[in-house]
Amino acid sequence: MQTSIVPGDRALEFGIYRDGDNNLDASQTGVLRQALQVSSKDANIGFAVEDTTAVGRDGGLHTNDYAIADGGIAHASIGAPHDMSSPSNLAQFVAHTLDEAQQSGAKQTWIDLVDHGAGDGGGLEADSTHGVMPMPKMAQAIADGVALHAKEHPEDAGRGVDGIVANQCLMDTLGFAEGTAPRGGVQSPGG
């Protein structure tokens, strides 16, 4: 279902950065289903999604970019797989999420990093490129994304990332909490 997202006064813009190019690809899609369900029940929450996955589209690795609001998907595009372990790719995603937050009038912006991880020794891993973005580079990429948004939208330069959800093997690790802590801290769903 395609919907048109209308600027408003949203409470939360949530960016989902999902690297599904691993053996947990299919099981991690639940994060996206949950976003659709949440948005259908609460119009105050919107989602910006970058999803590199092999699910669907004949099993070939690709990246889906779209927005979720009011239980629908908008601005959808499918393209070549992004290197999810690239700090510049994460920075662009953070800037895009902040742009969406500005357009929707969101009061808070959170980022959800969904990947296989690798605990304190790893980071965002792109199996397809064999790259790893360690925690300090994740923190720098998030800061770079905030700076990109501020440069493009000086009228909204005070907007930042209020929290990060580590929905991966990085969760519950001190190194992640220390390496990426934004203004609002780190939340970990556990598991």
Residue 175 is assigned to a structural domain of this protein: yes
- Looking at residue 45, which CATH number applies to its domain? 3.40.220
DSSP structural state of residue 44: T
- C-alpha span between 51 and 62 (Å, rounded): 8
Task: Note down the domain range covering 85.
Answer: 12-187
- Across the chain, mean pLDDT equals 81
Question: What does the pLDDT read at residue 121?
Answer: 46
* Bridging pattern class, strands 123-126 and 131-134: antiparallel
Question: Considering only 4-8, 163-167, 173-177, which range has the smallest mean pLDDT?
Answer: 4-8
Residue 179 is assigned to a structural domain of this protein: yes
Residues 6+ positions from 112 with CB-CB distance below 8 Å: 14, 15, 16, 17, 18, 31, 164, 165, 167
95-147: per-residue pLDDT in tens?
Answer: 999 999 999 999 999 999 888 655 544 567 666 666 778 778 888 999 999 99
Quick check: 122 and 132 in contact, CB under 8 A? yes
Question: What does the pLDDT read at residue 176?
Answer: 52
Question: What does the pLDDT read at residue 1?
Answer: 39
Quick check: 179 and 135 in contact, CB under 8 A? yes
Confidence of residue 42 (pLDDT cuts 50, 70, 90): very high
Both structure tokens of 123: 């980071």
- C-alpha span between 26 and 60 (Å, rounded): 13
Residue 4 is assigned to a structural domain of this protein: no
8-23: per-residue pLDDT in tens?
Answer: 678 999 999 998 777 7
44-91: per-residue pLDDT in tens?
Answer: 999 999 999 888 767 788 999 999 999 999 999 999 999 888 999 999
- C-alpha span between 31 and 42 (Å, rounded): 16
Residue 3 is assigned to a structural domain of this protein: no
Question: What does the pLDDT read at residue 47?
Answer: 97
Q: Tell me, what amino acid is at 76?
A: A
Q: For the chain, give the longest Cα–Cα distance.
A: 43
- C-alpha span between 104 and 127 (Å, rounded): 34
* pTM assigned to the model: 0.82
Residue 153 is assigned to a structural domain of this protein: yes
Domain count, the chain: 1
* Bridging pattern class, strands 62-69 and 45-53: antiparallel
